[in-house]
Amino acid sequence: MATTQTKRLRGKIALITGASRGIGLAIARALADEGCHLLLTARALSSVENIAKQLARRGTRTLPVACDIRDPHAVEALARITKKDFSRVDILINNAGIAHPDLSVAKLPYDIWQEVLATNLTGTFLVTHEILPLMRRGSTIVNNLSIAATRVFPGSSAYNASKHGALGLTNTLREELRPKGIRVIALLPGATDTEIWKTLWPTAPRKKMMSPQTVAKALMAALLLPENSTVESLTIAPSPKPQTITKRKRASKSKRRIRHQARQRRRNLLAQRVSAGPLEAQRPSPEGGILCSRRKPI
C-alpha cells in the first residue's frame, strides 16, 4: 500500500471500465491506494456499488456507474456524468473485455464473433472517443490488451482479432496524442487468474497464472514514471515459481547422470571389443552419430 509520501497520484481522477472484478478491480484498488478519485464502471450497477464503498478513502471520491461499453448511448451518458461530477479524467483505464469458448473459425458462431469485437475493440474506441475531450496534457490512457495482441492462439480467433485491432487503435492513438502530451500505454498481460478463464478454458491451471494484483503492480510502476516518459508497451507474463525451477534442475541433473552412465557403459563395451580385435565397419551411435572408426578406438 502507498504511504502518504509516495501517493504521487493523489487527487488524480481515474475512470476504469470493467472494474467489478479481475484485473480492473486490482487496478482500481491500486489507484485507490495512491489517492485517486475513482469512476468505476461495469454493466451492472450493483457489481460496482459495493466496490465503490470498499474503496472510498478519506478525501477521495468514488463513483459507481453502470455502462455497457458496447452501447454508444450508455458511453455518451458515462461521459456526461463524468463531466458533471468530476469535470475531467486524468487516467483512463480501458480494461473491460471478454473471451469466448475455444472454437475454430469454422465453428465460431457469428454472434460470438460480433460480441467479442463489439466489446474488446469497438467498446475501447467508444469509451476513448467520448472521454478524450475530458483529458488534458499530462493525462494517461491505458488499454488493457493481452499477449494475444501480438501473437495468436488457435481457437481464439475473435479474441485474437479484437486484441490485434485494439493494439492498432492504441498505437494510432499514441501518435495522435503525443503532441498533446497525453501518454498511451498498451498493457499486454499473459495468463492472469481471473473469471475470464471460465469462458475460455474452464479447467486451465490457475496456479501457473499471475495474480491480477501483479498486473496492477506492474502498471502502477509505469503510471508513476515522470509524465514526460511513456512505457508504450508493457508485456507481463507468468514465470515458473523458483521451487519449480529447483525441481527441474534436479530432474535435469539426474538425466545428465543417467546419460553419463550410458556413455560410460558404451565406452567400456567398445574398449572390450577393440581389445578383442579390429572392427569391420564404422559403428553408428544410438544417437545416429559415429562413435568410433574401426581403427580409431575412442
Ligand X SMILES: NC(=O)c1ccc[n+]([C@@H]2O[C@H](COP(=O)([O-])OP(=O)(O)OC[C@H]3O[C@@H](n4cnc5c(N)ncnc54)[C@H](OP(=O)(O)O)[C@@H]3O)[C@@H](O)[C@H]2O)c1
The site for ligand X (CB under 6 A) is made up of: 17-18, 20-24, 42-44, 47, 68-70, 95-98, 119, 123, 144, 146, 189, 191-192, 194-196
Q: Which is nearer to ligand X, 19 or 132 (CB)?
A: 19
In the bound complex, what is the minimum distance in angstroms from residue 44's beta carbon to ligand X?
5
Check if the beta carbon of residue 37 is closer than 8 Å to that of residue 226: no
Q: Which is nearer to ligand X, 163 or 174 (CB)?
A: 163
Positions annotated as catalytic residues are 159
Task: Quickly tell me which residue has 493525462 as its cell.
Answer: 139
Task: Report the sign of the C-alpha dihedral through residues 147, 151, 156, 160, in that order.
Answer: positive
In the bound complex, what is the minimum distance in angstroms from residue 293's beta carbon to ligand X?
56
Determine phi and psi for 14, rounding to 5 degrees: -120, 135
In the bound complex, what is the minimum distance in angstroms from residue 21's beta carbon to ligand X?
4
Task: Report the sign of the C-alpha dihedral through residues 120, 199, 192, 236, in that order.
Answer: negative
Q: Which is nearer to ligand X, 113 or 292 (CB)?
A: 113
> For residues 187 and 233, what is the distance between their CA atoms, to the nearest angstrom?
6
In the bound complex, what is the minimum distance in angstroms from residue 49's beta carbon to ligand X?
11
> For residues 244 and 238, what is the distance between their CA atoms, to the nearest angstrom?
13
Q: Which is nearer to ligand X, 140 or 194 (CB)?
A: 194
Angle, CA of 38, 41 and 46, to the nearest 5°: 110
